[in-house]
Amino acid sequence: MHSGNQTSVSHFILVGLHHPPQLGVPLFLAFLVIYALTVSGNGLIIFTVLVDTRLHRPMYWFLCHLSFLDMTVSSAIVPKMLAGFVLDSRVISFGGCVIQLFSFHFLGCTECFLYTLMAYDRFLAICKPLHYATIMTRNVCNYLALGTWLGGTLHSLFQTSFIFRLPFCGPNQVDYFFCDIPAMLRLACADITVNELVTFVDIGFLALTCFMLILTSYGYIVAAILRIQSADGRRNAFSTCAAHLTVVIVYYVPCTFIYLRPGSQEPLDGVVAVFYTVITPLLNPIVYTLRNKEMKAALWRLGGRKDVLPH
């Protein structure tokens, strides 16, 4: 680390969500239920896609990646939050803080790229159906998915190294429920103007570019859907796309609120952060199962196979 001899902090204390002491146990139970539903719901999607050959298509392959990302990003944040509610275990080592920040931004950036890729997949499927099978081959899907993970890795390595090159000499109380860029910058014992600018430009550029590509894809998709003569065809296409757009909106709006306002310290930041770290990973499996007929049919078939198993 740069300026390592100036760094005296060996651990941090996560202040967590501000709440009355009597709400500790109810909040623990609420977040525990949400976390369990998140892991089980996303795990069910992955399992269903893997065992149902009718879903072995690019759209559901990317959905598996999304479900895995939702499980892991929630697992990087929620367990430590739960421990803070009932065990008062709020201490996190310096290395643990580095790992948590890296993991969160690695998974979050990968998810950002994946949303863009999923929009491109829908664009090809609806706007270029005759060429879709030849363009989105298995190898192409694998390379594109790998590209999202590689992009997330490089982005997070850059952001994490740029944050922790700063000296941290106290205080060590993180006024947040996990180690994230805005909260950590407030603890640095150095001028953070450049860091705030780089964070704003880097995350802003990535988010804006991905969001504009998604909007462009869906602009073409909507135009193509309106040309479909069959009412059922239009309805099915809109249903699939509406599910994706819903997830994109609930992902991008909170992230924009948090990261594109340098120096913000509003109490509402913690509430918004809970939404995209805890609630959004739970919403994805709900949205994709309730709004997707093929997924619902696959789940019914999965249940039917269980029913006919010998006792």
Each residue's pLDDT tens digit, 92-110 = 999 999 999 999 999 999 9
Highest mean pLDDT: which range of 86-90, 204-208, 253-257: 204-208
Least confident segment among 22-31, 96-105, 172-181, 227-236: 227-236
245 or 91, which is more confident? 91
pLDDT tens digits for 122-171?
899 888 888 999 999 999 999 999 999 999 999 999 999 999 999 998 78
- 190-236 pLDDT, tens digit per residue, is 888 898 888 888 888 888 899 899 989 988 988 888 887 777 767 77
pLDDT value at position 3?
44
pLDDT of residue 2: 45
Secondary structure of the chain in HEC code, one letter for each residue: CCCHHHCCCCEEEECCCCCCHHHHHHHHHHHHHHHHHHHHHHHHHHHHHHHCHHHCCHHHHHHHHHHHHHHHHHHHHHHHHHHHHHCCCCEEEHHHHHHHHHHHHHHHHHHHHHHHHHHHHHHHHHHCHHHHHHHCCHHHHHHHHHHHHHHHHHHHHHHHHHHHCCCCCCCCEECCCCCCHHHHHCCCCCCCHHHHHHHHHHHHHHHHHHHHHHHHHHHHHHHHHHCCCCHHHHHHHHHHHHHHHHHHHHHHHHHHHHHCCCCCCCCHHHHHHHHHHHHHHHHHHHHHHHCCHHHHHHHHHHHHHHHCCCC
pTM score, whole prediction: 0.86
Q: Where is average pLDDT lowest: 33-42, 191-200, 300-309?
A: 300-309
Query: What's the pLDDT at 42?
Result: 94
Confidence of residue 5 (pLDDT cuts 50, 70, 90): very low
Q: Which fold has domain 13-297?
A: Rhopdopsin 7-helix transmembrane proteins (1.20.1070)
Q: Greater confidence, 217 or 9?
A: 217
